[in-house]
Amino acid sequence: MSGSEKGNRQRLQWHPAFGAALRITFAEEIERKELELQEEYLLSKKPPQIDVLIIKKLRDVSIHKTVGRIF
């Protein structure tokens, strides 16, 4: 790929799709107020930022989704 082709490429914005996928995956837990998702959560007034912050609301509730076990 030439330098001019690289310059014309747009950066892929995957953040909205990733956030939407997490909201779909954890829809039941969010509805029951067991989890809260905050997208593009700023860690300070300036970058860096994290893409998604997932907050487990209740300690005694188990998350049964496979991706949830990571957390």
pLDDT tens, residue by residue, 37-55: 887 766 677 766 677 778 8
* The model's pTM: 0.48
Q: 14 to each of 6, 39, 47, 51, how far by Cα in Å?
A: 19, 12, 18, 10
Are residues 29 and 35 in contact, defined by beta-carbon separation less than 8 angstroms? yes
Paired strand residues for 37:
54
Please check the confidence at residue 1 and state whether its pLDDT lies above 60: no
**Which whole number is the average pLDDT over 5-33?**
81
Question: Which of these, 47, 46, 26, 28, lies nearest to 38 by C-alpha position?
Answer: 26
**Which is more confident, 36 or 49?**
36
Please check the confidence at residue 6 and state whether its pLDDT lies above 60: no
